[in-house]
């Protein structure tokens, strides 16, 4: 008969208990707070620099190069805060994945499919006809719009589904981490053009799906792919507003007028429609049905 093992002794001091877990890792709440402070300081400095250089967007259109410059601030803030957290706290980022290319392609396909179902489904339901509209300059427009939405898509995944989600999942539960980061993700989009409480609520549901992808695959690359494809297909392929930002030239166009409702997201875009919310609910359910991947536990 194996004798019972004595309980592990807790050698933390009083102050250590405030900052350190039993495993002598910095508590997740402090990690997230430090991450947020670094990200906010970086964003503030970069935005002030853009303002001084007169590079702030004058028109929120995806074919405006100033929008691309502006969205790079989100990416840089995500990179700086992620690098600082990995170096200071040895926190996982979700980027260390030997199958990153496969995960990225999976996310790209999932994001493109969901947006396509959203727009085409609304058109088939009588919301408005789809028209092929691409002509000369389609390739250059596609690249310009990718440059506009790519940095912010990757940056937002670093800021919401990277270190913050993984740290919160370590300190609480994965479900709480997914919902918590998704709520903040939705609230941030209130500042977008044509932002509304309804739109922010549906964007939070998008965040739940992206977070579920990270939890199930154990990789940030899946949600990065889904986010990039979502925004690019929404804007360039289908000619829809992307979280309130007006699209430029697109392959197809579909009417987006009217107040947000079940079939229409109005000027905010398809993510503010009830139909997209239904599709997102199905996507979350299917994602949760996947076998759970191994959550990152060490620094990249």
**Which residues does residue 253 pair with via DSSP β-bridges, in sequence order?**
131
Q: Which residue has the higher pLDDT, 14 or 35?
A: 35
Q: Which value, in Å, is the radius of gyration of the alpha carbons in the chain? A: 21
Residue range 164-173, pLDDT digits in tens: 999 999 999 9
What does the alpha-carbon distance between residue 219 and residue 104 come to, in Å, rounded to a whole number?
9
177's tokens: 């981490």
Taken in order 248, 230, 67, 263, the sign of the CA dihedral is: positive
What does the alpha-carbon distance between residue 62 and residue 47 come to, in Å, rounded to a whole number?
19
**Helix (H) or strand (E) segment spanning residue 236:** none
Residue range 200-244, pLDDT digits in tens: 999 999 999 999 999 999 899 999 999 999 999 999 999 899 999
Stated pTM of the model: 0.90
What does the alpha-carbon distance between residue 184 and residue 36 come to, in Å, rounded to a whole number?
12
Tell me the DSSP string of 172-192: S-HHHHHHHHHHHHHHHGGGS
Helices of type H across 189-269: 197-217, 220-232
**Helix (H) or strand (E) segment spanning residue 295:** none
Residue range 141-160, pLDDT digits in tens: 888 899 999 999 999 999 99
CB-hemisphere CA count at 13 Å for 221?
15
């Amino acid at each position: 008969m194996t004798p019972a093992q004595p309980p592990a002794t807790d050698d933390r001091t009083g102050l250590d208990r405030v900052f350190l877990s039993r495993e002598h890792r910095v508590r997740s709440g402090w990690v997230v707070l430090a991450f947020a402070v670094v990200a906010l300081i970086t964003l503030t400095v970069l935005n002030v620099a853009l303002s001084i250089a007169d590079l702030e967007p004058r028109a929120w259109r995806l074919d405006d190069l100033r929008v691309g410059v502006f969205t790079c601030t989100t990416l840089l803030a995500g990179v700086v805060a992620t690098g600082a957290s990995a170096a200071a706290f040895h926190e996982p980022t979700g980027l260390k994945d030997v199958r990153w290319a496969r995960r990225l392609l999976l996310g790209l396909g999932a994001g493109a499919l969901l947006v396509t179902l959203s727009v085409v489904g609304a058109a088939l339901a009588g919301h408005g006809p789809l028209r092929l509209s691409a002509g000369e300059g389609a390739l250059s427009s596609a690249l310009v719009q990718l440059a506009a939405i790519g940095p912010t898509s990757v940056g937002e995944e670093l800021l919401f589904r990277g270190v913050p989600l993984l740290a919160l999942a370590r300190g609480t539960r994965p479900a709480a981490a997914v919902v918590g980061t998704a709520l903040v993700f939705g609230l941030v989009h209130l500042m977008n053009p044509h932002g509304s409480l309804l739109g922010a609520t549906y964007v939070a549901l998008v965040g739940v799906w992206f977070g579920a992808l990270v939890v199930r695959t154990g990789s940030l690359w899946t949600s990065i792919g889904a986010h990039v494809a979502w925004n690019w297909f929404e804007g360039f392929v289908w000619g829809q507003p992307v979280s309130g930002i007006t699209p430029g030239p697109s392959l197809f166009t579909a009417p987006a007028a009217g107040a947000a409702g079940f079939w229409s997201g109005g000027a905010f875009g398809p993510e503010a429609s009830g139909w997209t919310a239904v599709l997102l609910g199905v996507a979350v359910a299917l994602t949760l049905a996947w076998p759970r991947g191994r959550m990152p536990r060490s620094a990249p």
